[in-house]
Amino acid sequence: MDTIVYDPFYLDMPRFFGITFKELLAAKHPSAWIQFERDEISEEELLRIFFSDGREVDGAALKQHMADCYRYLDGMQALLERLAASGAKVHAFSNYPAWWQLIEEKLRLSRYLAWTFISCDGPLKARETLGLRKPSPESFAAVVSHLQLPPERLLFVDDRQANVDGALAAGIPAVKFESAAQLEAELLKKGFFQ
């Protein structure tokens, strides 16, 4: 999120509830979202405990609101098309919950990447990463193990410096994402395109 696809968590989810992001952080259950990302609780449980004060959440409306907000970041669909045409193998490595399926339904990212490494267990069932979240060393080790490639043959791209640092600590070259143009320039330097 916020690397290929716009993440509505910071602006649009609070707007759905009619509160600010700061108010959302103060009111939400302290660990429910992370538990949902790790597949430790169901969607029903998430919605039941979403707010610490027990207020009800219209789950269907919230999911629809999130789905309506998902969109490619500027320039990313074209860059993914170029990567696919170049033969590069692209994998999602995400701390996102089962709602990744809403993204897939709307944007069809699977045309360009494999949903391999999702902390809630993606469709390719890379069981090694179930429950693991970036930037833990275990998550990067699981990716390397699953792909059966030396870390230096991989390239990790993320919008969060902590995740980039985690990849670098695991010996995986990494790029901090800022924009599609910046990423394309980095990929050109690394020889991804001719």
Annotated domain spans of the chain:
12-69, 76-189
Report the pLDDT value the prediction gives residue 128, as an integer from 0 to 100: 64
Between CA 23 and CA 32, with CA 27 as vertex, the angle to 5 degrees is: 125
Whether 157 has a pLDDT exceeding 80, the answer reads yes
Which residues touch 112 (CB under 8 Å, ≥6 apart)? 77, 80, 81, 83, 84, 90
Side chain identity at residue 93, one-letter code = F
Could you tell me which residues are beta bridge partners of residue 93? 117
Q: What is the pLDDT of residues 82-92, one digit of tens each?
A: 999 999 999 99
Mean pLDDT to the nearest integer, 99-117 = 94
What does the alpha-carbon distance between residue 156 and residue 97 come to, in Å, rounded to a whole number? 20
What's this model's pTM, rounded to 2 decimal places?
0.90
Report the pLDDT value the prediction gives residue 119, as an integer from 0 to 100: 81
Side chain identity at residue 7, one-letter code = D
Whether 129 has a pLDDT exceeding 90, the answer reads no
Which letter, b or e, does each residue of 30-49 get, where b requires 16 or more Cβ atoms within 10 Å of its Cβ? eebbebbbbeebeeeebbbb
Structure tokens at 174: 């990494």
Fold assignment, 76-189: Rossmann fold (3.40.50)
Model confidence band, residue 121 (pLDDT cutoffs 50, 70, 90): low
Identify whether the C-beta of residue 134 lies closer than 8 Å to the C-beta of residue 166. Answer: yes
Mean pLDDT computed over every residue of the chain: 92
Whether 194 has a pLDDT exceeding 80, the answer reads no
